Amino acid sequence: MAEAGKGVTAGKLAVTMQKRLSRAQEKVMQKLGKADETKDVVFEEMVANFNKQMGEGTKLQRDLKAYLAAVKTMHETSRRLQDCLADMYEPEWFGKEEMDALVEEMIEKEMDNNLEDTDTMWLDFHQNITDSSVPSMDSYLTQFPEIKARIAKRDRKMVDFDSARHHFSSLQKGKKKDEAKIAKPAALLEMAAPSWAQGLLSAHQVAQTNLSYNQAEEELGRAQKIFEELNVELQDQLPVLWDSRVGVYVNTFQSLAGHQERFHKEMSKLSQNLNDIMTKLEEQRQLNEEANHSQAATSPTSSASNNSENDLPPGFLYKVKAIHEYAATDGDELELTIGDLVLVLAFDNPDEQDDGWLMGVQEAVWKRTKDISSKGVFPENFTQKV
């Protein structure tokens, strides 16, 4: 049984190699112009459209997956940004409780989609795209490899058909020549054999010629049938596949756009709430600044009168603490290091005060030297009132 199996395998391999050799020879003859090649311009256009469609679909699938990866990355960075916002928002600032609730809502918001568990909007957005757009594209592209293989098979069978046609045509020409030769026996044969023997030889030659001719004709019929069956099937299927791309693209982008619209609508509500809180915080800061300026305009006299009791520099208003480092860029500016305590002073001429800037002297320097000449201006937003 093993030997028989080996024989079958070897036989199949020999047939396959012979087919490949015959196709290669046929293609060479066609390129050299010594054999006709079957041409179908309409089918070639279909194949060109198929290749274009397959390339576009593959690119769309790749870009869609890249978009999903970007959504996931954006979700992660958004989460870190929200955590940062929660950490830096100081307790005494306006809307601390509202801010905490908003950040919590951004991180974990319950979606109205019949889910029992709480999920984030980002995860819901990512999952919706994964469940709708990606599977449809995957399903759409699964049909291309099989059709591509059938197109390649059709091309091979077309070469076989051309080869069988050329072989049959050659035998037809050879048969006519052989029949002419058989009609005129050679002189040597006439002298060496009796007339009845000459008839047998002629009949044998005719039979051999007819056998090859019939085999070639049968092979041509089989090759033509196989080729035409594949050709007809593909000519019916390729235009349908080409037209189907419109519906696939519409469904993919329509679904994606719908999920994007719902997601960004929810996110815009949270963003608007955050913007409102920031706006109110800025309004509060401006009110505090106006109040400080008003205090600065009315308190120099009283501060000066208490100067001797409190051991403070003339024009003292209040004390601030540096929360950011500041490197002086001019001779009249004050250098700040985080944690420095600064005694804020009134300007000798209020008109000289620029918005957002204060005049002061380092508390440590004042206590050590009692020298008011070491005062300088510094940015108000680099400090915090104590």
Question: Looking at the predicted structure, is the pLDDT value of residue 112 above 80?
Answer: no
Question: Looking at the predicted structure, is the pLDDT value of residue 334 above 90?
Answer: yes
For the CA atoms of 292, 293, 299, 303, what is the dihedral angle to 10 degrees? 70
- Domain positions in the chain are 18-282, 306-385
Output 1 or 257, whichever has higher pLDDT: 257
- The pLDDT value recorded for residue 52 is 95
C-alpha 322/C-alpha 338 separation (Å) is 5
* Helical residues (DSSP H) of the chain, grouped into ranges: 2-31, 41-88, 96-107, 121-141, 143-182, 187-192, 195-298, 300-305, 307-310, 363-369
312-324: average pLDDT? 91
- The pLDDT value recorded for residue 305 is 43
Question: Looking at the predicted structure, is the pLDDT value of residue 321 above 90?
Answer: yes
- The pLDDT value recorded for residue 46 is 94
Q: Quickly state the pLDDT bin for 278 (edges 50, 70, 90).
A: confident
pTM of this structure: 0.53
The mean pLDDT of the chain is: 77
C-alpha 63/C-alpha 383 separation (Å) is 49
Q: How wide is the angle at C-alpha 308 spanned by C-alphas 304 and 314, nearest 5°?
A: 35
Output 245 or 269, whichever has higher pLDDT: 245
DSSP H or E run through 299: none
Residues 377, 355 contacting (CB under 8 angstroms): no
Q: Quickly state the pLDDT bin for 186 (edges 50, 70, 90).
A: very low
Same fold, 18-282 and 306-385: no
Q: Looking at the domain covering 306-385, what would its CATH class be? A: mainly beta
Q: What fold, for 18-282? A: Substrate Binding Domain Of Dnak; Chain:A; Domain 2 (1.20.1270)
- Residue-wise pLDDT for 130-156, tens only, equals 888 888 888 999 999 999 999 999 988
- The pLDDT value recorded for residue 382 is 92
Q: Which of 351, 292, 348, 353 is nearest to 320 (CA)?
A: 292
C-alpha 117/C-alpha 115 separation (Å) is 6
Handedness of CA 125, 130, 131, 137 (dihedral sign): positive
Q: Quickly state the pLDDT bin for 29 (edges 50, 70, 90).
A: low
193-221: average pLDDT? 63
- Which DSSP string do the residues of 351-385 spell out, in sequence order? GGPPTTEEEEEEHHHHHHH--GGG-EEEEGGGEEE
Give the other-Cβ count within 10 Å of 361's Cβ.
Answer: 22
